[in-house]
Amino acid sequence: MLTKKDLSTLKTMFRNTETGIITKVGEMIQKNTDELVELINTGFNAQDVGFSKIDKILVNHEKRIGILEEKSFKSN
């Protein structure tokens, strides 16, 4: 049978566990938030700097698609 001391010990243990879990979840949320903010900032910076690079890549892809279309029409 459980004594009052056993019950008190269990309550304390559960409170400590709950507090630890809440703290851990809070830390995880903060870390995820920090990483998300960093990704967003990196994306905006890349967007500002990289538009010309992206445009060049898209133009190259369009040229390649055009060449492939020409070759496929010639072969048909």
Average pLDDT, the chain: 80
Give the pLDDT score at 50. 61
pLDDT value at position 76? Answer: 58
For residues 10-49, one letter each, b for 16 or more C-beta atoms within 10 angstroms of the residue's C-beta and e for the rest, the string is eeeeeeeeeeeeeeeeeeeeeeeeeeeeeeeeeeeeeeee
Interval 24-45: pLDDT, tens: 888 989 988 888 888 877 776 6
Higher pLDDT, 57 or 8: 8
Contacts with 10 (C-beta within 8 Å, 6 or more apart), sequence order: 2
Reported pTM: 0.45
Alpha carbon distance 60, 50 (integer Å) = 15
